[in-house]
Amino acid sequence: MEKKIPYKTYLTEEEMPKYWFNLKAVMKEQHDPFLNPATLEPCTAEDLKHVFCDELVAQELNTTDRLIPIPEEIQEFLKLYRPSPLVRAYHLERALGTPAEIYYKFEGQNTSGSHKLNSAVAQTYYAKKQGLTHLTTETGAGQWGTALSMACGFYGLDLSVFMVKCSANQKPHRKAVIQTYGAKVVASPSDTTAVGRKILADNPTTGGSLGCAISEAIEVATTTPNCRYVLGSVLDHVLLHQSIVGMEAKAALDKLGVQPDIIIGCAGGGSNLGGLIAPFMADKIEGKNNIDFVAVEPSSCPSLTRGRYAYDFGDTGKITPLLRMYTLGSGFMPSPNHAGGLRYHGMSPIVSKLYHDGYLRATSVEQTAVFKAATFFAKCEGTLPAPESSHAIKVAIDEALKCKETGEKKKILFGLTGTGYFDMTAYSSYLDGTMSDYIPTDEDLQKGFDSLPKIPQNEI
């Protein structure tokens, strides 16, 4: 008799990954280097060390080591909430009547409510090891801010979190969680930084954006002794830390003897998607599988599906290095939609490069359809998903329904990045029918593109 696949598969602590997977060591071409905006020369490690701590800079620039050891101390912290379960969505399959097998890797079983903690602990550990005493960051939906406050609470570092103003207003409880772990929360844009004051002067009623919040956090980090900035997505070292998600998922699927046909992840800055797909994508690049990788983004902030592949600033204040990525322009002001974590104008350079080179495809979905899928999923599978994660659920359901038509027994894996317990304002607006969809017009997008740096590299 065939052994039944369990609802949930947990690795043992011994089976947990001891290494992060560095996808760049496998990629046939690297993404273009960061540029110093003043000189338009590639950034050196020295340039980056003013902003990021040393070990993270080394990881950011590492294109050669396929596996990077996870320090023992970080493994000890990870065991507080990992391994995360790989779940077979039997009840969802049954409700859809699909012959497809649906699996999800569930990252919501920790107080940050998402995968973000995976990188927060690593970045905080290295900061502590370097003797730093203070970190700054931004947060949108609040998951990253919570994750980092947990790590800083654990390691005893001061933390200032610049929280996108519209999220701070929608989510006072998120703010309280961050404060419980001992961090300071500042609604962004704020009057505590030069860049915040400038943004407020130009647009006093703005609800803020991740881009604004990043500018403020970097300003504080670079003007405060023993302080560095940490970022929860986009950068290569963040994707590296998130590769533990994919490593665990692959180990669990291998144990079950399951080879996925489709892997779906929501994409805001790209860290969840990049981490989830890392070891699977390596196999694809090396010709060992032909998995259909799908990035899902909101129609309201369609970096991959409607953006430009160009050099751009990572922040609204234009103080970061220039990154070549799919972007809507750092001047793009997303509507205050509710999937706060997906409201970023750009996209991870690694994910962008993979997309550009045809290794993954992208699709965009509208907000009300996403909440419909989220509510359906909650009733079937119990867990109330985060709006961000629900973008992946929506597409997983669509793919499973296609299988129902064709009779294909595809194996679908998606990333359930987190829970929606702090997103009830959004759920309420869905339930009472006041939620609306927003799709930027070509004119809206053009305004964002007009903000792209006018440099020779963007004139190709």
When binding is defined by CB under 8 A, the residue of 109, 169, 192, 224 that contacts a copy of itself is 109
The contacts of residue 164 (CB under 8 Å, 6+ apart) are: 138, 139, 140, 188, 207, 208, 209, 210, 212, 213, 340, 343
Stretch that binds a copy of itself, among 48-56, 124-132, 174-182, 307-315 (CB under 8 A): 174-182
Q: Which of 25, 153, 318, 439 binds a copy of itself (CB under 8 A)?
A: 153
> What is the dihedral sign for C-alpha 281, 283, 285, 290?
negative
Nearer to a copy of itself, 58 or 95 (CB): 95
The one-letter code for the residue type at 368 is T
* Degrees, nearest 5: CA angle 299-301-302: 65
* Total number of residues shown for the chain: 460
Task: Specify the residue, 150 or 282, whose C-beta has the smaller distance to a copy of itself.
Answer: 150
Toward a copy of itself, which CB reaches closer, 6 or 42? Answer: 6
Q: How many residues bind a copy of itself (CB under 8 A)?
A: 44
Applying CB under 8 A, which of residues 58, 68, 369, 380 lies at the interface with a copy of itself? Answer: 380
Q: Which is nearer to a copy of itself, 193 or 367 (CB)?
A: 367
Rounded-to-integer distance, Cα 40 and Cα 34, Å: 9
Contact 86, 395 (CB under 8 A): no
x/- binding map, residues 9-48, to a copy of itself, per CB under 8 A? -x-xx-----------------------------------
Stretch that binds a copy of itself, among 236-244, 325-333, 382-390, 442-450 (CB under 8 A): 382-390
DSSP-derived secondary structure for 130-154: TT--EEEEEESSSHHHHHHHHHHHH
Nearer to a copy of itself, 57 or 252 (CB): 252
Q: Which residues contact 14 (CB under 8 A, 6 or more apart)?
A: none
Rounded CA-CA distance 278/17 in Å is 13
Which residue lies nearer to a copy of itself by CB, 379 or 404? 379
Residues 6+ apart with CB under 8 A from 374: 384, 385, 387, 390, 393, 394, 420, 427
Residues 385-424, interacting with a copy of itself (CB under 8 A): 419, 421-422, 424
Q: Is 169 in the site for a copy of itself (CB under 8 A)?
A: no
Q: Based on the shown chain and the rule CB under 8 A, indicate whether residue 384 belongs to the binding site for a copy of itself.
A: yes
> Residue 299 or residue 419: which is nearer to a copy of itself going by CB?
419
Choices 38-46, 64-72, 298-306, 376-384; region in contact with a copy of itself by CB under 8 A: 376-384
| Cβ at position 395, least distance to a copy of itself in Å | 21
Whole-number minimum distance, CB 125 to a copy of itself, in Å? 14
Task: Report the nearest approach of a copy of itself to the CB of residue 333 (Å).
Answer: 27
* Burial state string for 260-297 with b = 16 or more CB within 10 A and e = fewer than 16: bbbbbbbbbbbbbbbbbbbbbbbebbeeeeebebbbbb
435 binds a copy of itself per the rule CB under 8 A:
no
**Which residues, listed in sequence order, are joined to residue 416 by a DSSP beta bridge?**
106
Determine, following the binding rule CB under 8 A, whether residue 111 of this chain makes contact with a copy of itself: yes
**CA 141, CA 171: separation in Å to the nearest integer?**
8
Tell whether residue 271 is a contact of a copy of itself (CB under 8 A): no
DSSP conformation letters of 70-110: PPHHHHHHHTTT-SPPEEE-HHHHHHHT-SSEEEEEE---S
Give the residue among 438, 330, 430 at the shortest CA–CA distance from 385. 430
Number of Cβ atoms within 10 Å of the Cβ of 30: 13
Question: Least distance in Å: CB of 414 to a copy of itself?
Answer: 17
**Residues lying near a copy of itself in the complex (CB under 8 A):** 6-8, 10, 12-13, 76, 79-81, 90-91, 109-111, 113, 117, 150, 153-154, 172-173, 176-177, 179-182, 375, 378-384, 419, 421-422, 424-425, 427-428, 431
